[in-house]
């Protein structure tokens, strides 16, 4: 694989072009051409594709997209170009596993192939964009980490300091980021699993300075945690991302390459999102030297990822990478329904059936309006991890009819989703036991309904 400094050099030496021209003369027409060239078509009905030939064509289109359109560096106004040989070599040398955590909690997340039914996928829970009140932050993290099926957590963001908002790029943001990781580690320690990894480092940091500051070992993060570096806009690799790449590679930390291709944006519809999401995973390995990928395609208007074409595209990108590259992946679902609602559980079950059978690991999801304070309810995440583990026993072909039964239960509600619960509404604040009967009933009923459909979800 070409070395990292050479990757950085490509941002200094590639062809000069404006961002608009990059999109309108390179990325957009090339993506359209590749979709035609490789005969990639969503049939408007399938949720979980099981056609391996189509899957492999999506992978080829993703390789071609990077080889023929390149990536864009806005700071230098240059296209970062890579040859097909460089890309394919990077794919062949991509990590097949990423090891996280310390001592007894030290484990490896593996890249999975579609239709693998005899393994136990990595189980990750939590979410980073929840803005949780710091009074319950530690309780929330402790509860998530205490679930015995969980291998790693994403921790919410604390965005307040002395009762005020921490503005992006401010010194307060640095303090918030440091406080977030310090309290998160404390919550994990209280769960009795001190070595458990946090793999969404660092949720409260938007700028490199905040990430690097909060990485200082005294605050409790370690290279064996996971640090997220994201592509900001379609195919854009900015200096801030490259600065993080330089730093986290220098300390040999686990890097989670992260991407959010937008359905309805430059990537277009289902086919474009499938190809672009796959391309991001290739770029995550080649450009960011990622250890694992955070795949988070999103609908540009609904701000969620549970529409039928999006679930198809997300599952397709997992299968394309799972069959051709083996890079470990988790998928971050944004769901319409609020925490604890039946809609939320149906969406998660449909999404989990699609991505886990297609090669993804298990990752619980966000409500789409996750910015609502204190909307991270840990027992949702436990239930969704249990659904993911149940889905891992199925092939894509077995999962498709279940997904088709689930979709009508929430599809019409995505534009006006059900409101959910907060942490305080669900739990007794002293014992942290569930006391909200409506919350418990919704979960129990969905578990029974899934069993009725043929998906037994045992309580862990």
Partner 1 sequence: MGDEGIFEQLKQSIVDQDEDAVLEAVNKALADGVDPKTIIDKGLLPGLNVIGEQFENEDIFLPELMQAAKAFQAAMAILEPKIKEAGGDGQKKGIIVLGTVKGDLHSIGKNILKLLFETSGFEVHDLGIDVDLFKFIDKAGEVNADIIAISALLTTTLIGQRDVIDALKDQGTREKYKVIVGGGATTEEWADTIGADGWAGTAYEAVNLANRLVS
By CB under 8 A, name the binding residues for partner 1: 23-24, 28, 32, 129, 131, 157, 159, 165-169, 173, 204, 206, 232-234, 238, 240, 262-269, 272, 300-301, 303, 369, 371
Contacts of 284 (CB under 8 A, 6+ apart): 257, 258, 259, 290, 293, 327
Residue 28 Cβ, how far from partner 1 at the closest point, in Å? 4
Strand blocks (E) in 296-355: 298-299, 329-331, 334-335
Q: Which is nearer to partner 1, 96 or 303 (CB)?
A: 303
Residue 418 Cβ, how far from partner 1 at the closest point, in Å? 17
Longest dimension (CA), the chain: 61
Residue 58 Cβ, how far from partner 1 at the closest point, in Å? 18
* Helix H or strand E encompassing 189: helix 171-190
Q: 344-377 as b/e, with b when 16 or more CB fall inside 10 Å?
A: bbbbbbbbbbbbbbbbbbbbbbbbbbbebbbbbb
* Helix H or strand E encompassing 282: helix 270-286
Residue 190 Cβ, how far from partner 1 at the closest point, in Å? 26
Q: What is the dihedral of CA 195, 196, 197, 200, to 10 degrees?
A: -140
Cβ atoms of residues 225 and 100 within 8 Å = yes
What's the rounded Cα separation, in Å, for the pair 368 and 294?
17
Cβ atoms of residues 415 and 302 within 8 Å = yes
Q: Which is nearer to partner 1, 203 or 398 (CB)?
A: 203
- Cα-based distances in Å from 48 to 43, 89, 140, 332: 11, 29, 33, 17
Q: Which is nearer to partner 1, 197 or 268 (CB)?
A: 268
Residue 20 Cβ, how far from partner 1 at the closest point, in Å? 9
Residue 134 Cβ, how far from partner 1 at the closest point, in Å? 15
What's the rounded Cα separation, in Å, for the pair 69 and 33?
11
Q: Which is nearer to partner 1, 97 or 238 (CB)?
A: 238
Q: Which is nearer to partner 1, 263 or 292 (CB)?
A: 263
Q: Which is nearer to partner 1, 266 or 407 (CB)?
A: 266
Q: Which is nearer to partner 1, 233 or 404 (CB)?
A: 233
What's the rounded Cα separation, in Å, for the pair 379 and 369?
18
Residue 192 Cβ, how far from partner 1 at the closest point, in Å? 31
Coil/strand/helix, residue 50: coil
Residue 201 Cβ, how far from partner 1 at the closest point, in Å? 16
Q: Which is nearer to partner 1, 63 or 174 (CB)?
A: 174
- Cα-based distances in Å from 260 to 231, 232, 236, 333: 7, 8, 11, 11
């Amino acid at each position: 694989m070409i070395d990292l400094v050479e990757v950085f050099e490509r941002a200094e030496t590639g062809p000069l072009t404006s961002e608009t021209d990059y999109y309108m003369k390179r990325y957009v027409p090339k993506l359209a051409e590749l979709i035609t060239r490789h005969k990639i078509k969503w049939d408007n009905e399938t949720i979980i594709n099981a056609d391996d030939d189509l899957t492999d064509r999506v992978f080829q289109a993703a390789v071609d997209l990077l080889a023929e359109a390149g990536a864009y560096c806005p700071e230098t106004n240059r296209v970062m170009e890579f040859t097909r040989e460089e890309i394919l070599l990077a794919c062949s040398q991509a990590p097949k596993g990423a090891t996280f955590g310390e001592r007894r909690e030290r484990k490896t997340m593996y890249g999975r192939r579609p239709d693998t039914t005899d393994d136990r996928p990595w189980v990750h829970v939590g979410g980073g964009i929840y803005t949780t009140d710091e009074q319950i932050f530690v309780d929330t993290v402790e509860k998530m980490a205490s679930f015995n099926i969980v291998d790693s957590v994403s921790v919410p963001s604390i965005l307040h300091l002395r009762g005020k908002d921490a503005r992006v790029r401010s010194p307060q943001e640095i303090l918030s980021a440091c406080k977030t990781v310090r309290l998160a580690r404390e919550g994990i320690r209280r769960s009795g699993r001190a070595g458990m990894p946090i793999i969404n480092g660092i949720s409260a940091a938007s700028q490199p300075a905040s990430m690097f500051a909060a990485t200082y070992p005294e605050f409790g993060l370690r290279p064996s945690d996971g640090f997220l570096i994201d592509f900001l806009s379609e195919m854009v690799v900015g200096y801030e991302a490259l600065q993080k790449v330089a730093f986290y590679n220098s300390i040999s930390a686990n890097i989670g390459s992260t991407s959010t291709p937008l359905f309805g944006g430059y990537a277009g519809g289902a086919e474009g999102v499938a190809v672009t999401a796959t391309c991001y995973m290739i770029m995550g390995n080649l450009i960011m030297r990622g250890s694992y990928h955070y795949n988070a395609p999103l609908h540009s208007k609904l701000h969620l990822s549970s529409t039928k074409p999006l679930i198809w595209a997300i599952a397709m990108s997992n299968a394309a990478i799972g069959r051709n590259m083996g890079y470990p992946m988790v998928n971050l679902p944004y769901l319409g329904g609020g925490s604890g609602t039946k809609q939320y559980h149906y969406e998660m079950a449909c999404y989990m059936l699609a991505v886990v059978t297609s090669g993804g690991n298990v990752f619980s999801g966000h409500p789409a309006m996750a910015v609502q304070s204190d909307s991270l309810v840990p027992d949702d995440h436990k239930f969704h991890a249990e659904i993911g583990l149940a889905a891992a026993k199925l092939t894509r072909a077995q999962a498709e009819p279940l997904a088709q039964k689930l979709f009508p239960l929430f599809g019409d509600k995505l534009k006006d989703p059900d409101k959910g619960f907060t942490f305080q509404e669900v739990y007794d604040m002293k014992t942290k036991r569930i006391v909200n009967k409506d919350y418990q009933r919704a979960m129990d009923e969905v578990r029974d309904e899934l069993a009725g459909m043929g998906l037994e979800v045992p309580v862990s």
